[in-house]
Structure 1
Amino acid sequence: MEPGRPGGSGPAEPGPLPRGVCGAGPAASASSLSGAEAQIQRCALAVAAVLPAGGRGERMGVPTPKQFCPILERPLISYTLQALERLCWINDIVVAVTGENMDAMKGIIQRYQHKRISLVEAGVTRHRSIFNGLKALAEGQPDAQLSKPEVVIIHDAVRPFVEEDILLKVVTAAKEHGAAGAVRPLVSTVISPSADGCLDHSLERARHRASEMPQAFLFDVIYEAYQQCSDYDLEFGTECLQLALKYCHIKAKLVEGSPDLWKVTYKQDLYAAESIIKERISEQICIVMDTEEDEAHVGHHFEEMLKNELNHVKVTSGSLCHPGRDLQQIILEQCYNFVCVNVKTSEFEETQKLLDVLKESNISILYPVVVISVHFLDHKSVPIGQEMENLMQIREFAKEVKKRNILLCGLLIYYPQVCKMLVSSDYMFCRLQF
């Protein structure tokens, strides 16, 4: 079927976290958790995930298996791993990869600092890869320190936009029913051809659903099902929910999923995934400024203008010194775009402080971070030529921080131009885009 396109609901966004932090923000209190998540914590429910990643991706039409294809210079599977490992209630993530790709996978884990990941060798088919992952959780491995979970999630390595909400729903439904899986309405009508290539019959689309991932199971249910599987099932089957029904008589609870669950299958899907990621990491801008400066300073007018003009983007304010506008918290909330307004001086000091904070936070490991250093200049006090020479150091800083995946550029604004620029939003926006 044709992959669906993302809807309005946001996923448990794959993204970097400052060192030592798990989850999308500070440790949540019990009162701030969703009902399903609170239930998982109250029951101390042990949850693990298995990702079969041994496919060769013939339909992609490229020599690299699709799970290792780069998106923004980062392998696709890394985005999926990050979406899962951000959830503290998933204890272990087992990835099944082929022997020839084992070293590459270890390199991805090390480079992007993924945590709680264990590797097993994939089988020659999808079901055999999943079975190998389940065996690792059931039997444990001395070097992986895995323990058997109560509920196991099975997810595709090439579905990077999985939402925390749908993961919670399938896990809690599996706890109650034994098995659960995400489904979506059919996009195309399914037909059955006859032996001579003519139409035999078609299915009524409204009565059927497309089975998607993630799926979740009581571990003992799905492990028993795989142990009873025939060689034919392991060789040609693809549907895990069907195995639970066939061998354990467990009727899976079907959970309506979002359009974000589509699977990267064809080459054009890589471009679609890249566009989605770019859009999501550009949804927020943080304006960093010395808040001890006079509130009447032109820098604050500049901040207000940005908030008014960029109404399709969340514009927040952060400070390197003010506890009420904590920059670390903003970084933790997945902000990758910063406008640093140097209001005390036209020098580079404030921007340098911001770059140091970004380096320490480690957020640029997974996504590029954009920093625009804004400098205001009253041409009556400093000649433009002299100031431009002073600001040439931005070039050297830009070369250095680019090695850490931080993209830095500068914007110099004349004081006499301020009034005109503040009312001429098109001009200001153009300069910012540069």
Structure 2
Amino acid sequence: MEPGGCDAGPTVKAVAAVLPAGGSGERLGGATPKQFCTVQGRPLVSYTVRAVERVSWISDIIVVVSPENIETMKSIIEKYGHKRVTVTEGGITRHRSIFNGLKLFSENKFSNHLLQKPEVVVIHDAVRPFVEEDILLKVVMAAKEHGAAGAIRPLVSTVIASAADGCLDHSLERTKYRASEMPQAFLFDIIYQAYQQCTDYDLDYGTECLHLALKYCKTNAKLVEGTADLWKVTYKRDLYAAESIIKDSLSQQICIITDVKEAVVQVGFLLHESLRSQIKVETISISLSKRDNHLQNIFSGQCYNFVCINVHLNTSENASFSIDLEELTKMKKFAREVKRKNILVYGLLIQYKDYFPLQETVNSAAALTMALIKDRNPELTGQLVVA
């Protein structure tokens, strides 16, 4: 296949991904399964799908969910505009769910059409939202060479075994062992054959996919050192940690939108220059009448991890606002629409009379802008703030 977003795309005919997302979230507590918990206004599973979706050389993404969550997952796919995603029904255990996902490429039982059978398939938990293209590429290339591969991390704590009386039996030498993480990748024929040969005991009580490839296909997986951000959201504290990381990520990019008037464009440029040393900044100058459709096209290709700032100008002698009601109404309407996709829009009013006060005001506006996007308070979206 052609290389995708990574400079060194995999020399593999086709790559697909299966994301098991059928867990009940018992360890997290609460009625909502962890994969559907909202983080910064968006379900956790959507972040994971988007992370995999950004990798252009992954042709198909299968999300496997419990029967009662099929429609919920489909609505998430539609709401956030995910592409190349197929939702299918999971089984009563993790292994049975993964097997159901793999069947979409070989059997017609679970779908009205067959997807292209990949050469390599990636398996990744839907509650590990911080996977990067680099580790996906490493496990895919290792799987092509060795038949199977998986990310690993050093053990944080020593593993011990207890005797029947509850006393210590023995402990493992921590330096000799590793924690198995996700993602994992396999030659499709190997992992599919392994699942076909599985006993019911393996399907019901097993958890390690690499072990199935070894047990049934004699395939020794290549172990790939993973990064620290491959952890799994399991407990409520993990959800809080994920929210903090995602919130920080969402505040790393901003889009400044100005009108086409020369004075306003100048203000937008100055604000851009003031912010660019702190975050990634894009500036767009566009007529208000053409703004909606143009911006919707821009947002459709993004990860929704930025805030748009409308820059307005007040050159009057008094303190009255020079923005008219029609423009405010359009901005608020637009803000409500894109808020559904986790994009927050604020209006910014800057007043000035000559250059030096303007620069000082722009610096103040930059500080205010940084505070807004770090806080990401959805209740302020569509509001006009004054610098």
Q: Using structure 2 for the length normalisation, give the TM-score.
A: 0.83
Return the offset for 1:31: 11
Partner of 1:409: 346
User: How many Å separate the matches in 2 of 1:359 and 1:132?
Assistant: 36
Aligned mate of 1:54, from 22, 42, 62: 22
Residue 330 of structure 2 corresponds to residue 397 of structure 1: yes
Give the superposition deviation at 1:426: 6.6
Amino acid at match of 1:98: S
Task: Kindly indicate whether the alpha-carbon contact (under 8 Å) linking 1:422 and 1:428 is maintained by their aligned counterparts in 2.
Answer: no
- Listed one character per residue, the Cα deviations across residues 123-143 of structure 1 (whole Å, up to 9, x for unaligned) are 111111111222222224552
Further displaced range: 396-405 or 60-69? 396-405
Partner SS state of residue 161, structure 2: strand
CA apart distance, 1:170: 0.8
Change (3 A) 1:352 1:193: farther
Between stretches 420-429 and 269-278, larger displacement belongs to: 420-429
Deviation at 1:96, TM superposition (A): 2.0
Report the equivalent of 1:12: none
C-alpha distance in 2, partners of 1:282/1:365? 14
**Mapped partners of 2:46, 2:264: distance in 1:** 43
**2:281 maps to which residue?**
315
| 2:222 aligned residue (253, 262, 271) | 253
* Separation in structure 1 between the aligned mates of residue 261 and residue 72 of structure 2, nearest angstrom: 49
For 1:78-121, what per-residue CA distance to the aligned partner results, in whole angstroms no more than 9, with x for missing partners?
A: 22222222323222222222222222222222222322222332
SS in 2 for 1:57: coil
Contact 2:256 2:308 in 1 (8 A): no
Q: Does the 8 Å CA contact 1:401/1:407 hold for their aligned counterparts?
A: no
Residue 107 of structure 1 is matched in structure 2 by 75
Runs of 5+ consecutive residues of structure 2 not aligned to the other structure? 372-384
Residue deviations 1:214-251 (CA, integer Å, cap 9, x gap): 11111111112112222221111100101111111111
Percentage of matched positions with identical amino acids: 54
**Relative contact order, CA 8 A, sep 6+: which one is greater?**
1
Q: Label 1:290 to 1:137 Cα distance change in 2 as closer, same or farther (>3 A).
A: same
Deviates more, 1:365-374 or 1:287-296: 287-296
How far apart in 2 are the matches of 1:33 and 1:157?
22
Match of 2:86 among 115, 118, 124: 118
Q: One-letter code of the match for 1:179?
A: A
Contact 2:50 2:303 (8 Å CA) reproduced = no
Aligned to 2:11: 39
> Structure 2 CA distance, aligned partners of 1:122 and 1:201?
38
Note the aligned Cα RMSD (angstroms).
3.1
Question: What amino acid does structure 2 have at the position aligned with 1:402?
Answer: A
Q: CA deviation at 1:212?
A: 0.5
Change (3 A) 1:319 1:60: same
For 1:315, what is the secondary structure of its paired residue?
Answer: strand
Residues 48 and 149, structure 1, Cα contact 8 Å, conserved in 2: yes
Distance verdict in 2 for CA 1:411–1:92, change over 3 Å: closer
Gaps of 5+ in 1: 1-27, 321-349
**Residue 162 (structure 1) aligns with:** 131
2:131 equivalent to 1:149: no
Q: TM-score, normalised by structure 1?
A: 0.75
**SS of match in other structure, 1:234:** helix
* Equivalent in 38, 54, 57 of residue 89 of structure 1: 57
Specify the SS of the correspondent of 2:313. strand
Q: Equivalents in 2 of 1:297, 1:135: separation in Å?
A: 57
Q: Aligned-pair distance for 1:418?
A: 5.1
In 1, Cα distance between equivalents of 2:238 and 2:4? 39
Partner of 1:422: 359
Instruction: Give yes or no for the alignment of 1:133 onto 2:133.
Output: no
